[in-house]
Structure 1
Amino acid sequence: MMMGKVYLIGAGPGRLDYLTLRAKELLSIAEVLVYDALVEPKILELVSSKSLKIDVGKRGGLPSTEQQTINQLLVEYCLQGKQVVRLKGGDPLIFGRVYPEMRSLHDAGCDFELVPGITSALAAPLLAGIPLTDKDLGRCFAVFSGHDTNILDWGALAKIDTLVILMAGKSLGIIIEQLQANGRSSDEAIAIIRNCSLVTQQIWTGTLADILDQTDGVSLSPSIIIIGQVVNLRIMSDHLPLWGQTILVTRAAEQKSQFTNLLEAQGASVVEMPALEIRPPSSWQSLDNAIAILNQFDWLILTSANGVEYFFNRLATLGKDTRALAGVKIAVVGKKTAAILKHFGIQPDFIPPEYVADSLCDRFPENLEGKKILFPRVETGGREVLVKDLSQRGATVIEVAAYESGCPSKIDLRASMALQQHKINIITFASSKTVQNFYNLIQQVTNPLSLLENVCIASIGPQTSKTCLELFGRVDLEAKEYTLEGLTDAIINRLNNL
């Protein structure tokens, strides 16, 4: 049997972005995942769907898995020859209760590896713009837990320039009382950062005298508390324009969304909802026949990233490469389509400036009379306008099925819950088909159109907007440039003008 191994990994302060490269690599190969109450579900998506996932998270006030049980799980799966990832928030060796797990693994002869994570004790002040050290105001700092306030040496702690306190939401009043009793001024600066790094991050600043009034009635879990003069040095950079917005992105089931990366870079929290299933056509015959006579075509037109990938993958399956396109010019619709084409080492000869198929004919770079055009496309449900326009201008268009798209059978659980709990601020659609499929999927929920109340419906272009109007009765914004970048800009502009 292959030797098992356990990886004790820190997940960082919460956001997927702050996970280490080593942690991402190990999550991708995990056969068993034993994880705590992580703050961003996307981290769990890095693990294969075939892996066993065991939630042992400790949540305040709720029943939790006994530490001994966790130790046994790690040992048992390791001895079975499994690659086991033990995932904990922050850094595993800072208030992570990892030592008992290390001890149990060592005693059982199990191999293990420690992988550091960014602790919230350091990340929270940084993300709040607070320097933990300063040559004049903060020459040292101490990090401690607010759980057991009775055993702490408050006389010693009160003398330290800066204090960073974890798990102290419920004991804040006691901490303030003890510090003041041991000589700390009531005017001492304090900051509280809740849900650091997440879109729900909140920050309170004040003094030991007034912070309790500011946070009265507010749950401060999970939070980091910083006490010291360095809090007065706080400088925040401008907020990202989409900070605080939760955006639902409809996408193909098999594809990780480039759009998600664009939105998250602007501060948004993104929920991805698979609304398309891309699969091979019912028959390859028509595409294979066209590939066999590629040299007879003047132009190859590709209007989607899926069309590009399926066409070139089929070309390779038939034992051909890009040399088979010698003498054939290529027109593509959209920046993303062009970008995928470049992955195959080809630069398109023409991209219509409006990035939509409807403008391709109007801007075509040469007379179409007598031209023979190959158009690999979706098998069913595609629009006929492009073929009609090309044919009316004298071209002979050979349409072939390169792929098929359909609607998933079930609505994504995470997306469904976010909609039903009214956590979504904006829903984005990059094609008419995703609009139609989204509409079909939400019929599985009671009162489906109520899910869209107070939600902004964002469209990438005119045809997508038309479908939104037909099915939802409205569309709230449309990109001026019909690209994902254009849609991102349109969302930002709308929020700036509210």
Structure 2
Amino acid sequence: MNDRLGKVYLVGAGIGSVAHLTIRGQQLLSNAEILIYDDLVDPQLLDLAPENCLKLNVGKRGGFPSTSQNTINQLLVTFCRQGKQVVRLQSGDPSIFGRVNSEIKVLIQANCNYELVPGISSALAAPFLAGIPLTDKQLGCCFTVLTGHKPDLLNWKVLAELDTLVILMGGKTLPQIVYKLQRNGRSPSEPVAIVHKGGSPQQEVWISTLGNIVDQVRGVSLSPSVIVIGKVVSLRNMAFFYSPLVGQTILVTRAAEQSNQFSLMLQQQGARVIEMPALEIISPSSWNGLDDAIDKLSSFDWLIFTSANGVKFFFQRLKTLGKDVRALAGIKLATVGEKTDCILKKHGLKSDFIPPDFVADSLVENFPECLSNKKILLPRVEVGGRDILTKKLKQQGAQVLEIAAYQSRSPNQINSKAWKALQQGKVNIITFTSSKIVRNFYYLIYQQLGKQAPYEISSILSKIIIASIGPQTSKTCCELLGRIDLEAQKYTLKGLTEALVERIGNGQD
């Protein structure tokens, strides 16, 4: 037995994409060593696990070969005893018509550590995403969740008198369910909804009555589905579920520590996101220059931040040196971009000036006061940044001190998951948020392909939309990748997301 302490996490996957997975579930998947999952789990969730994670499909589907429950139980115990971090991923919530009780019992008997992580059940989420509230003051004060797997075992006389019925696994037995409800007094005009693959891009909804629903869906495969029977179905809001980027796989190339916010924006619009960091952000090769500047802060008139990284590393160093925001008393602050300003606000400070176009070039043109003889401190990337801002400031008579606050560099190798998706043609859109990221991306692909790179890169990207955050990034895309297909009108992550939604959501591609 391994001395390392293993643990099994019994996790509910929710009803589909990452957007419906709990934060705790995401955390556990990202650190899983063993992933044992059901057949109905969305493939996107599997991508959250590390590349070296062992993934085992143990799903059970009617009419198909299935893994026995005893085998599943034994896998959980065996890997836990080996000291592994095991995620047992089940669709929806494991406690609702799942197999979690059997698995808990076996883990307890084997003296294995385990943790329960609830998921969003399709019984609750599928009706809601189809625009159907399960309760209403006038039309339904309660609802009952039941399985339609074995209708002969249920008390239909009691069930027929309840306000709202939510039935899982009832697609194949729908005719029997309808017959038994009407036989026990439920009206043929009672509203019925069937939500097929709720919360997914393939979601379908049928609205009918108890008397007509069987004929309406005859010959249609309804698995998996949620059936809702009750007057609340009449309250359905048709516009409840809309995600303009559903069906799009988007490659995000920002640095790993910066990609979460952008990825979340895209996922909220229905996109599948694959992260391929083409940038690494680290400390500068030496802190001497920044330390000296911080020691002389009072001598500067303006402190200009052109990136969120500049703000982050500046204030980290300020704290390391035993100082706080009071050291900036009397100094005016300028930030380029909404994200940079947002990070500054987290330190309790407000920018005195933000250029209107969110780019460094417009800062000098719109500067609020004469720059002649103004002393300006500019914390920035150590190498590779654009020097146009410094040149323009000096042309206006300013005294500019550029200080290395951080380094940005290319990763040593391409993310294998992203590379595989690119090779297999599974990426619809690639997003770029800086010229340096474009250059690093090109270098990583070139490194992977060798002598055939120029031709192969063109071939790989031929059917992919190349999306840029702004003019300078677009220029580099054209120089290295041969084209640009979409540029944000507002040069922010939100602006880039909006541009994608406008193009894809309007059916332009």
TM range (shorter): 0.7 to 0.9
Give the corresponding residue for 2:494: 485
Match 2:214 to one of 208, 211, 232: 208
CA displacement at 1:333 relative to structure 2: 0.4
Q: Distance in 2 between matches of 1:32 and 1:166?
A: 32
Residue deviations 1:436-456, cap 9 Å, x none?
222333343683333333332
Q: Distance in 2 between matches of 1:393 and 1:376?
A: 19
5 Å-filtered alignment, 1:12-51, equals 12-20=14-22, 23-24=24-25, 27=28, 34-37=35-38, 38-39=41-42, 41-42=44-45, 45=48
Secondary structure of 1:376's counterpart equals: strand
CA displacement at 1:297 relative to structure 2: 1.8
Match 1:411 to one of 411, 414, 423: 414
Match 2:121 to one of 119, 123, 130: 119
* Structure 2 CA distance for partners of 1:469 and 1:238, relative to 1, 3 Å: farther
- Once the two structures are overlaid, the 10-residue window that deviates more, 274-283 or 60-69, is 60-69
The answer to whether the aligner puts 1:198 opposite 2:184 as a matched pair is: no
Secondary structure of 1:409's counterpart equals: coil
The answer on whether the counterparts of 2:60 and 2:67 sit within 8 Å (CA) in structure 1 is: no
Give the corresponding residue for 2:465: 456
Residue deviations 1:338-393, cap 9 Å, x none?
11111222212211111100001001111111122111111121111111111111
Q: Distance in 1 between matches of 2:195 and 2:120?
A: 16
* Structure 2 CA distance for partners of 1:43 and 1:387, relative to 1, 3 Å: same
The answer on whether the counterparts of 1:251 and 1:257 sit within 8 Å (CA) in structure 2 is: no
CA displacement at 1:396 relative to structure 2: 1.7
The answer on whether the counterparts of 1:158 and 1:179 sit within 8 Å (CA) in structure 2 is: no
Match 1:95 to one of 83, 94, 97: 97
The answer on whether the counterparts of 1:30 and 1:84 sit within 8 Å (CA) in structure 2 is: no
The answer to whether the aligner puts 1:439 opposite 2:445 as a matched pair is: no
Give the corresponding residue for 1:58: 59
Q: Distance in 2 between matches of 1:254 and 1:225?
A: 39
Secondary structure of 1:361's counterpart equals: helix
* Structure 2 CA distance for partners of 1:344 and 1:288, relative to 1, 3 Å: same
Percent identity over paired residues: 51
The answer on whether the counterparts of 1:436 and 1:467 sit within 8 Å (CA) in structure 2 is: yes
CA displacement at 1:103 relative to structure 2: 1.8
The answer on whether the counterparts of 1:429 and 1:460 sit within 8 Å (CA) in structure 2 is: yes
- Once the two structures are overlaid, the 10-residue window that deviates more, 56-65 or 338-347, is 56-65
The answer on whether the counterparts of 2:195 and 2:206 sit within 8 Å (CA) in structure 1 is: yes
Give the corresponding residue for 1:330: 333
Q: Distance in 1 between matches of 2:169 and 2:173?
A: 12
* Structure 2 CA distance for partners of 1:181 and 1:88, relative to 1, 3 Å: closer
Give the corresponding residue for 1:475: 484
The answer on whether the counterparts of 2:36 and 2:86 sit within 8 Å (CA) in structure 1 is: no
Q: Which amino acid aligns with 1:102?
A: I
The answer to whether the aligner puts 1:175 opposite 2:176 as a matched pair is: no
CA displacement at 1:227 relative to structure 2: 6.3
Give the corresponding residue for 2:427: 424
CA displacement at 1:279 relative to structure 2: 1.2
Q: Which amino acid aligns with 2:215?
A: A
- Which ranges in structure 1 are unaligned for 5 or more consecutive residues? none
Q: Distance in 2 between matches of 1:26 and 1:254?
A: 15
The answer on whether the counterparts of 2:127 and 2:134 sit within 8 Å (CA) in structure 1 is: yes
The answer to whether the aligner puts 1:281 opposite 2:284 as a matched pair is: yes
Q: Which amino acid aligns with 1:175?
A: T
CA displacement at 1:252 relative to structure 2: 0.7
The answer on whether the counterparts of 2:156 and 2:181 sit within 8 Å (CA) in structure 1 is: no
Q: Distance in 2 between matches of 1:152 and 1:239?
A: 35
Secondary structure of 1:270's counterpart equals: strand
Q: Distance in 2 between matches of 1:266 and 1:7?
A: 29
Match 2:344 to one of 341, 346, 350: 341
The answer on whether the counterparts of 2:127 and 2:228 sit within 8 Å (CA) in structure 1 is: no
- Once the two structures are overlaid, the 10-residue window that deviates more, 355-364 or 72-81, is 72-81
The answer on whether the counterparts of 1:439 and 1:471 sit within 8 Å (CA) in structure 2 is: yes
The answer on whether the counterparts of 2:134 and 2:140 sit within 8 Å (CA) in structure 1 is: no
Q: Which amino acid aligns with 2:506?
A: N
Normalised TM-score (structure 2): 0.80
Give the corresponding residue for 2:506: 496
Residue deviations 1:118-147, cap 9 Å, x none?
22133222211234567769986553255x
- Once the two structures are overlaid, the 10-residue window that deviates more, 271-280 or 78-87, is 78-87
Give the corresponding residue for 1:320: 323
Q: Distance in 2 between matches of 1:449 and 1:59?
A: 42
Equivalent residue pairs, number: 483
Secondary structure of 1:240's counterpart equals: coil
Give the corresponding residue for 1:356: 359
Residue deviations 1:104-130, cap 9 Å, x none?
233345565544332213322221123
CA displacement at 1:303 relative to structure 2: 0.5
- Which ranges in structure 2 are unaligned for 5 or more consecutive residues? none
